[in-house]
């Protein structure tokens, strides 16, 4: 039996799915102490297109109170992925797959304290992730201040797909694990009758297999017609991350809101990142609410990242994931929401329909488009290809019902 490796450039995205899920549940259940989330259902269709990748699917989020002290929530989310990204084209063939994640959570309100817990499960053909999370929020100083402590724990199983006689199956020789812990602290503060400030801090640790089993590094090799040879990535087995953010949200005199956010990130891999975001919300014509935002992101490369290593086995750790490269990006977003009523369904108190579009523009600073040298080695030497850039469109359409 001959095994041919199906090198797909997606595991990096898979590796973060559990964290997204954690964010999903923690954010999806507003941690406002003393107040349980509203009874609400959201039905979302999402579509991402850019860099040869199309990802689309539904998301359904339900939040329901039970009595005066309990609330529950559940989310079903799906990614249907069709990928022919630069990573895939460099060393593999396009693929399609589906990722499904499900989560459930509960909240208990006791006095000014809210306790939350939940569980998240994500399944892909070559990745399984389970995450549990817990948080406690305390409302204090007459409701001016809310302090939240949170903790989440994730267990991932990483597999690798291969082709056997034309069929894609899990590689029986490849079973890896990764564990994750996230400790969070946040404080929200009413500063004036028109201004709220929030500070978040998060410490995350990863341990286990943290590399992408499909993507590869490349190193200079004059004997190869392309000028380089591909080789497996080698990642450290641990990673520690610190992220701190601060935001201010201000109510403008003519009924609009302006939000400014900044986040600083650093980790044990040498990545330093800054995120700056401004968001403006304006209700118009009684039923409409318009939203516009701009987000700027910038990061430095990981210490063991290189677009082209000088020779094989250059160092203990070697990576060429573009998520670890140096780059900056700008994302512009616009959103329009329309409030409507459904007279025949009296139990629905409020309903809105929303369309949102975001345009993401990423410029890499040390990650070259290796497809140039792959397809035209005579014109482009390895390492001299144009820098890679990525423009992506993100579309969302969703209906929200309050009952």
Partner 1 sequence: MRTSIIIGSAALLVAVSGCAPVRPWVKPYQREHLADPIMALDRNPVSSIYLDHVFETREGARGATGGVGGGCGCN
78-117: which residues touch partner 1 (CB under 8 A)?
Answer: none
Q: Which of 120, 211, 324, 370 binds partner 1 (CB under 8 A)?
A: 324
287 belongs to the binding site for partner 1 (CB under 8 A)? no
Among 48, 127, 235, 388, the residue binding partner 1 under the rule CB under 8 A is 48
Complex with partner 1: residue 28 or 227, whichever CB lies closer? 28
Does residue 168 interact with partner 1 by CB under 8 A?
A: no
- Sequence-ordered list of residues with C-beta below 8 angstroms from that of 162, at least 6 positions apart, any chain: 3, 4, 5, 6, 168, 169, 170, 171
Among 367, 269, 384, residue whose Cα is nearest residue 327? 367
**Residue among 123 and 169 whose Cβ is closer to partner 1:** 123
Q: State the DSSP H helix or E strand holding residue 24, giving kind and residue range, or none if neither.
A: helix 17-28
Q: Confirm or reject binding of residue 189 to partner 1 (CB under 8 A).
A: yes
How many C-alpha atoms does 108 have within 13 Å on its Cβ side?
5
Question: Judged by CB, which is closer to partner 1: 115, or 251?
Answer: 251
Of 199 and 379, the one with the shorter C-beta distance to partner 1 is 199
Contact string 262-281 vs partner 1 (x = CB under 8 A): -x-x-x-x-x-x-x-----x
**Between 194 and 341, CB nearer to partner 1:** 194
Q: Rounded to whole angstroms, how far apart are CA atoms 44 and 187?
A: 30
Please tell me whether residue 205 binds partner 1 under the rule CB under 8 A: no
Complex with partner 1: residue 37 or 227, whichever CB lies closer: 37
CB of 94 to partner 1, least distance (A): 18
C-beta of 32 vs 117, nearer to partner 1: 32
Q: Does 27 bind partner 1 (CB under 8 A)?
A: yes
By the rule CB under 8 A, 251 interacts with partner 1: yes
> Shortest distance, CB of residue 383 to partner 1, whole angstroms?
22
Residues 311, 220 contacting (CB under 8 angstroms): yes
Which strands form 167-170's sheet, in the order they lie side by side? Answer: 3-5, 161-164, 167-170
Encode 88-116: b = buried (16+ Cβ within 10 Å), e = exposed.
bbbbbeebebebebebebbbebeeeebeb
- Tell me the CA distances in angstroms from 321 to 40, 87, 196, 226, 301, one per residue in order: 39, 9, 38, 20, 10
Q: Is residue 44 classed as helix, strand or coil in its secondary structure?
A: strand
72 lies in the binding site for partner 1 (CB under 8 A): no
Least distance (Å) between residue 80 CB and partner 1: 14
């Amino acid at each position: 039996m001959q095994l041919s490796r199906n090198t797909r450039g997606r595991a990096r995205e898979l590796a973060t799915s559990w964290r997204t899920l954690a964010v999903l549940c923690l954010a999806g259940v507003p941690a406002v102490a003393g107040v349980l989330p509203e009874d609400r259902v959201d039905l979302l269709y999402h579509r991402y297109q850019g860099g040869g990748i199309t990802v689309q699917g539904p998301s359904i989020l339900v939040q329901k109170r039970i009595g005066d002290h309990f609330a529950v929530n559940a989310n079903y989310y799906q990614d249907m992925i069709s990928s022919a990204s630069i990573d895939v084209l460099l060393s593999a063939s396009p693929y399609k797959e589906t990722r499904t994640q499900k989560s459930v959570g509960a909240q208990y309100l006791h006095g000014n304290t809210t306790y939350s817990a939940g569980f998240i499960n994500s399944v892909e053909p070559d990745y399984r992730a389970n995450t549990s999370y817990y948080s406690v929020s305390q409302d204090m100083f007459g409701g001016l201040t809310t302090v939240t402590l949170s903790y989440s724990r994730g267990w991932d199983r990483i597999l690798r797909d291969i082709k056997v006689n034309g069929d894609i199956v899990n590689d029986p020789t490849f079973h890896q694990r990764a564990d994750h812990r996230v400790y969070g602290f946040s404080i929200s503060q009413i500063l004036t009758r028109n201004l709220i400030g929030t500070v978040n801090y998060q410490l995350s640790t990863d341990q286990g297999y943290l590399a992408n089993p499909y993507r590869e590094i490349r190193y200079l090799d004059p004997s190869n017609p392309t000028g380089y040879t591909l080789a497996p990535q080698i990642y450290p087995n641990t990673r520690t991350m610190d992220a701190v953010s601060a935001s201010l949200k201000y109510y403008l005199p003519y009924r609009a809101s302006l939000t400014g956010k900044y986040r600083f990130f650093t980790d044990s891999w040498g990545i330093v990142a800054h995120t700056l975001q401004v968001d403006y919300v304006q209700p118009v014509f009684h039923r409409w609410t318009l939203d516009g935002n701009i987000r700027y992101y910038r990061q430095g490369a990981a210490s063991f990242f290189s677009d082209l290593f000088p020779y094989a086995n250059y160092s203990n750790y070697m990576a060429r994931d573009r998520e670890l490269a140096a780059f900056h990006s700008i994302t512009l977003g616009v959103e329009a929401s329309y409030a409507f009523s459904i007279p025949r369904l009296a139990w629905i108190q409020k309903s809105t329909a929303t369309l949102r579009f975001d345009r993401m523009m990423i410029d890499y600073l040390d990650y070259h488009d290796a497809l140039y040298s792959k397809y035209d080695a005579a014109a482009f030497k390895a390492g001299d290809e144009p820098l890679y850039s990525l423009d992506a469109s993100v579309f969302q359409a969703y209906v929200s019902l309050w009952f």
